[in-house]
Homo-oligomer: A and B are copies of this chain.
Amino acid sequence: MVFMQKKFLKKNSLKEGDFAEAVFQGEKFSGTVIPGKEAGMVFLKLKSGYNVGLETAKIESIKKISEGQKVSKPKAFEIRQNTSLPKISILHTGGTIASRVDYRTGAVYTAFTPEDLMAMFPELSEIANFNSKLIRNMWSDDLRFRHFGVIAKAVQEEHSKGAQGVILGIGTDNLAVASAALAFVLEKCPIPVMLVGAQRSSDRGSSDAAMNLVCAAEFIKKTDFAGVALCMHSSQSDDLCAVLPACKTRKLHTSRRDAFKAVNDTAIALVDYKTREIKFLKKDYQRKSKEKFVIKPNFEERVGLLKITINMFPEQFEFFSKQKFKGLVIEGTGLGHTPGHMPDEITKKAHKGIFPAIKAMAKKGIVVMTSQCLFGRVKMHVYDKAMDLVELGVIPGEDMLPETAFVKLAWLLGNYKDREKVKELIGKNLRGEINERTPLDNTVEGQ
């Protein structure tokens, strides 16, 4: 008789998540029961990390060894100290780098404590003395501007306790945006702050967590770099990590371990995982210093990002001024364009109001143009349609990523009351977010 797994488990007083031992064709298998929907099969995750599917008809016996694991409550902790090694702090906010599979649902959820992290990556303890602290246990999607002040203060605190550098574990979904936001908040930052994530959860064989953490730690230890940067896989192989610029990096793949790429910029460094060498290091970067931290945690909350498509309606633009937004980043097409230039009999009615809405928003707040091409630079003096937008008050965002322009605008509006000052600074390079000359070779490959 063929059972679905659930029924089979129930019959044997088991549930998903339990640790069980089965005898299958004379052989013993023990592991965690994981979800499975194939009729006549039961699935175990073995200690090796492999999953095994056993035909229930051929199972001689199966019994529960222990109940499904409970998640322990995270707390601060300190590991053994080796005085010959430098001090590095790991601050943690959640995300895949500290996530595990929920065997009840098959989904991944954030659960690991910093202790788990250190226990899982024993190689770290040979690099430095680590202090670890869980600031939050949250998805990066739930970050709000106010969190960056909290994080920045925690960085400063770790430094005051002697940390030579900080590794910040954060969800990859907004890892790049968070690094840009932190770069603005940390106006002066005498130590390195390396944002690290993982595309595969830490309890999987294919996890990139260990290598990203190790490379970040080696980079802190072996260079005099200071300021905010990301450290993630540079290729699909487990060979090199790239240290990427805080304001010019983007997640460009949903699942690949080398999803993070510098856009309109180059990597700051490459770290060899095997040899632990710094393979490449840019010449111009901010150095460690004795200067004090300057933290500017303020952001204007009401800032939006509007991605342009064809067939838009004036209401989609009017929304921002009506809802009292103070800033708007437009993710325009090409060199920095929107609909609304040249009405014909089809566009006439639908377009009426788009330009007036942009003008109204630019009058009440600040409107910045970026490009959905991501690579390349906004140029608003090439086509008359963009010149019209500049006339309406739209400010060209140069070669900034839309997401970076978004946090920069919110940060500027939060820190400068003088509107003209904000307008002036938005197009000026403050944290490496604008390159005066975009490297032409930096683009996508692979068709």
Do the beta carbons of B383 and A109 come within 8 Å of each other?
Answer: yes
Do the beta carbons of A447 and B310 come within 8 Å of each other?
Answer: no
Q: When the two chains form the complex, which single residue of B307, B376, B378 contacts A307, counting CB atoms closer than 8 Å?
A: B307
With a cutoff of 8 Å between Cβ atoms, the chain B residues found around residue A373 in the complex are 251-254, 259
Alpha-carbon distance A394/B344, docked complex (angstroms): 36
Q: When the two chains form the complex, which single residue of B262, B340, B410 contacts A142, counting CB atoms closer than 8 Å?
A: B340
What's the number of copies of this chain in the assembled complex? 2
**Most-contacted residue by chain B among A173, A234, A344 (CB, 10 A):** A173
A87 at interface by CB-CB < 8 Å:
no
Pick from A9-17, A67-75, A122-130, A435-443 the stretch touching chain B: A435-443
Contacts A255-B377, A446-B442 given; does A307 touch B335 at CB 8 Å: no
Q: When the two chains form the complex, which single residue of B138, B177, B242, B253 contacts A375, counting CB atoms closer than 8 Å?
A: B253
Q: When the two chains form the complex, which single residue of B107, B304, B443 contacts A252, counting CB atoms closer than 8 Å?
A: B443
Do the beta carbons of B142 and A344 come within 8 Å of each other?
Answer: yes
Scan residues 292-340 of chain A and give those whose CB is less than 8 A from a CB of chain B. Answer: 299, 301-311, 313, 315-316, 319, 323, 331, 333-340
Alpha-carbon distance A407/B378, docked complex (angstroms): 25
Do the beta carbons of A311 and B144 come within 8 Å of each other?
Answer: yes
Do the beta carbons of A255 and B376 come within 8 Å of each other?
Answer: yes
Contact mask for chain A residues 421-447; partner B; CB cutoff 8 A; 1 contact, 0 none: 000000000000000000011111111
Do the beta carbons of A253 and B307 come within 8 Å of each other?
Answer: no
With a cutoff of 8 Å between Cβ atoms, the chain B residues found around residue A343 in the complex are 142
Do the beta carbons of A344 and B387 come within 8 Å of each other?
Answer: no
With a cutoff of 8 Å between Cβ atoms, the chain B residues found around residue A177 in the complex are 309-310
Do the beta carbons of B444 and A145 come within 8 Å of each other?
Answer: no
Pick from A48-56, A160-168, A186-194, A345-353 the stretch touching chain B: A345-353
With a cutoff of 8 Å between Cβ atoms, the chain B residues found around residue A374 in the complex are 252
Contact mask for chain A residues 116-159; partner B; CB cutoff 8 A; 1 contact, 0 none: 00000000000000000000101111111111001000000000
Do the beta carbons of A447 and B242 come within 8 Å of each other?
Answer: yes
Contacts A256-B443, A267-B447, A385-B141 given; does A251 touch B334 at CB 8 Å: yes
Scan residues 396-434 of chain A and give those whose CB is less than 8 A from a CB of chain B. Answer: 403, 406-407, 410
A359 at interface by CB-CB < 8 Å:
no
Q: When the two chains form the complex, which single residue of B259, B310, B335, B342 contacts A174, counting CB atoms closer than 8 Å?
A: B310
A431 to chain B, nearest CB (A): 17
Alpha-carbon distance A252/B250, docked complex (angstroms): 13
With a cutoff of 8 Å between Cβ atoms, the chain B residues found around residue A377 in the complex are 254-255
Do the beta carbons of B376 and A339 come within 8 Å of each other?
Answer: no
A266 at interface by CB-CB < 8 Å:
yes
A384 at interface by CB-CB < 8 Å:
yes
With a cutoff of 8 Å between Cβ atoms, the chain B residues found around residue A266 in the complex are 447
The residue on B at minimum CB distance from A335 is: B254
With a cutoff of 8 Å between Cβ atoms, the chain B residues found around residue A444 in the complex are 252-253, 261, 443-446
Do the beta carbons of A139 and B337 come within 8 Å of each other?
Answer: yes
Do the beta carbons of A337 and B141 come within 8 Å of each other?
Answer: yes
With a cutoff of 8 Å between Cβ atoms, the chain B residues found around residue A105 in the complex are 384, 387
Q: 10 new A-B pairs (CB below 8 Å) besides A177-B309, A253-B376, A262-B447?
A: A142-B347, A142-B351, A174-B310, A236-B440, A252-B373, A252-B443, A254-B334, A259-B443, A261-B445, A313-B323
A to B CB contacts below 8 Å, 23 in the list: A105-B387, A138-B347, A139-B385, A140-B333, A146-B346, A171-B334, A172-B334, A236-B440, A242-B447, A251-B334, A251-B373, A254-B373, A255-B335, A259-B373, A266-B447, A299-B311, A304-B309, A307-B307, A310-B407, A315-B319, A443-B444, A445-B445, A445-B446
* Ranked 6 nearest A-B pairs via Cβ: A254-B376, A445-B445, A173-B333, A173-B334, A307-B307, A262-B447
